[in-house]
Structure 1
Amino acid sequence: MKKQIPRARAEARWGCAFVAVPVLGFVVFALGPMLASLYLSFTRFEVLTPPRWVGLDNYARLFARDFFVWRTLANTAFYLLGIPIGIAISLLLALLLNQKLRLEGLFRTVYFIPSVCSIVAAALLWKWIYNADYGLINTYLRALGVADPPAWLSSPRLVKPALVVMGIWSGLGYNMVLFLAALQGVPRSLLEAAELDGANAWQRFRHVTLPAISPMTFFIAVTSVIGGLQSFDQVYVMTRGGPEFRSATFMLYLYLTGFQYFQMGYASAMAWVLGALVMIVTVLQFRLARRWVHDE
């Protein structure tokens, strides 16, 4: 017993040493900027002039006087509609690749490649695919006899659905691999017992497989929504928010406000509102998860 106490203390010291590194990094590189941005959110700060205290004026402007805030929030919400579609397609691909197939490894690699690719490179690729003059889609449409194919990224009506399709494609591989790992962890004994009880393939999937992989489904849903609320790269590269700001996300508007118009105080207020929105949505997801996520 006496030997175990010094050993436990040594392990505790090593544990504190390992934990201290990320904690110190957070305090030095994250906590300071966070507190500074919180202060700046109550000021008018335009980089070249000292911050001037304005109280809640930035937040009042954000919620009551800035039309583009609500437009970009609506655009961001529209992009989130692609998340359940992407999750469903990823699960379908995982179910197919969970079977014993020839060239199974090749198919997994092909579907996972978009996840390895840089989001900027993927956005440039899709910008070329959607190009109205020489893009891949319109080239095929002209070959099929369509005389005037649409300008995908220049049309206020089509630009958001086009970006949703690109977002679904970019997340398929990563989510598919996660679902594949979850599917391989489903107990075979439960599936065999359900089959012996007369359950067909759909019933086994509905009542055995889906509950078993629900923690992974929840993880993918939460991380996808958080990423969707902060989406920036693909919109910035492909459209810069156009046409007429119809494709701009809240994160893109935040970036333009701070780094193009140099309204750092207002941008800081936007950042804190976005952080609060992400937290609220995440908490709601955790509350709703109690109804459908099965831990055992």
Structure 2
Amino acid sequence: MAAITPDTVPEGTQAGKQKRGRIEREQIKWGLIFLSPWLIGIVIFYLIPFIASFGFSLVEFNLAVPEETSFVGFSNWRRALFDDPNVYESFGVTFLFAAISLPIGMIFALLLALLMNSNSVRGKAFFRTMFFMPTMVPLVATVLIWGGVLNEQTGWYNILLQNVFGIEAVGVSGLRWLADPRLIYFTLTFIGLWAVGNTMMITLAGLQGVPTEMYEAADIDGAGYWRKMISITVPMISPVLFYNLVLGAIGLMQYFLVPFVLNGGNGFPDGTTNYVGIYFYNQAFKFFNMGYGATIAWLIFLVSLVLTVVLFGSARYWVYYAGEE
């Protein structure tokens, strides 16, 4: 017997409309039942803490002396926006690092994806797996490994540069990858490239979705590799690039774990790693100023929101979606 669905109900009759309504309500009910674990998790672990954090930003709450908690209104906001220069310095450090790290990461992921999409590369499945595997390693373990690899005295990277290439890299006058303010951003970017496999795979999926007919037509017209790259490849994968850009920008606004594991969140060297995520952590969990820490967390959220809105506003000028004029 055929299943009764809204499509088999006779149109235009009162009984048909009632039966269709019952079936749709039944479908909605079961849909909500199956979604309920996710919805409950969202409410408990995201929505309620999200609202509570704004309430914390309106009180003076120190975990060391919780009995002295008091309502202070927008005093924490006024302090963060007008009286605390460290907030703007930490945002400036974060934006500077993002301006260096984000373009390098996206370009590197694109180059890897182009290489893995090339027909001239053998064993592509193996290399794709190798590039993606580092993303499966816990980030703390990855940072500790790279901290040893880039150590200025015992790290094998400096030893390799000195013994193989003759570069004076070991010792007091050597390359201090993690201690030189001029190198630290590039070092942290380099560590980040270790886990670029996820971005590479997303970009690769976009490349494989480009119609081959467009390349064939370009070949007939005599277009070279770079002309096809600029006129076909980049526009066709621009939604994927935009996706990676938005996620990368939001992720860098919350950049925390790598400098925290390397240096304990002390801003070493010379305050160059005092990112806004580090500043938030120190205020909330090191000095126990939960009210002020919640305020900084909300500032991070608002800045990320504004940045996302700006990126989406710019998308209409350079992101191409198939089917749109």
Q: Could you say whether these structures have the same fold, taking a TM-score greater than 0.5 normalized by the shorter chain as the test?
A: yes
- Higher-RCO chain (CA-CA 8 Å, sequence separation at least 6): 1
The answer to which of 212-221 and 93-102 deviates more is 93-102
| Whole-Å separation in 1 of the counterparts to 2:152 and 2:46 | 43
Equivalent position amino acid for 2:103 in 1: P
Alignment of 1:231-246 (within 5 A): 231-240=255-264, 241-246=267-272
Match of 2:180 among 155, 158, 161: 155
Alignment of 1:7-86 (within 5 A): 7-47=23-63, 48-50=65-67, 51-81=69-99, 82-86=101-105
Residue 215, structure 1, aligned to residue 235, structure 2: no
**Pairwise CA distance, 1:70:** 2.1
**Secondary structure, in 3 states, of the residue corresponding to 2:210?**
coil
Residue 111, structure 1, aligned to residue 131, structure 2: yes
Q: Percent identity of the aligned residues? A: 34
| Whole-Å separation in 1 of the counterparts to 2:277 and 2:223 | 47
**Secondary structure, in 3 states, of the residue corresponding to 1:55?**
coil
| Whole-Å separation in 1 of the counterparts to 2:32 and 2:130 | 42
**Pairwise CA distance, 1:29:** 2.4
| Whole-Å separation in 1 of the counterparts to 2:276 and 2:228 | 42
The question of whether the paired residues in 2 share the 8 Å contact of 1:83 and 1:168 is answered with no
The question of whether the paired residues in 1 share the 8 Å contact of 2:105 and 2:189 is answered with no
Deviations 1:118-154 (A, max 9, x none): 1111111111122111012221233225163122222
Unaligned runs of 5+ in 2: 1-8, 10-15
The question of whether the paired residues in 2 share the 8 Å contact of 1:153 and 1:239 is answered with no
- Which residue is equivalent to 1:137? 157
**Pairwise CA distance, 1:20:** 3.3
TM-score, normalised to structure 2's length?
A: 0.86
| Aligned-CA RMSD value | 1.7
Structure with higher Rg: it is 2
**Alignment length, in residue pairs?**
295
| Whole-Å separation in 2 of the counterparts to 1:27 and 1:107 | 41
Deviations 1:202-240 (A, max 9, x none): 111211111111111111110111111101111101122
Equivalent position amino acid for 1:165 in 2: F
Match of 2:287 among 261, 264, 275: 261
Match of 2:110 among 91, 94, 98: 91
- Which residue is equivalent to 1:205? 229
Unaligned runs of 5+ in 1: none
The question of whether the paired residues in 2 share the 8 Å contact of 1:141 and 1:149 is answered with no
Match of 1:226 among 250, 257, 269: 250
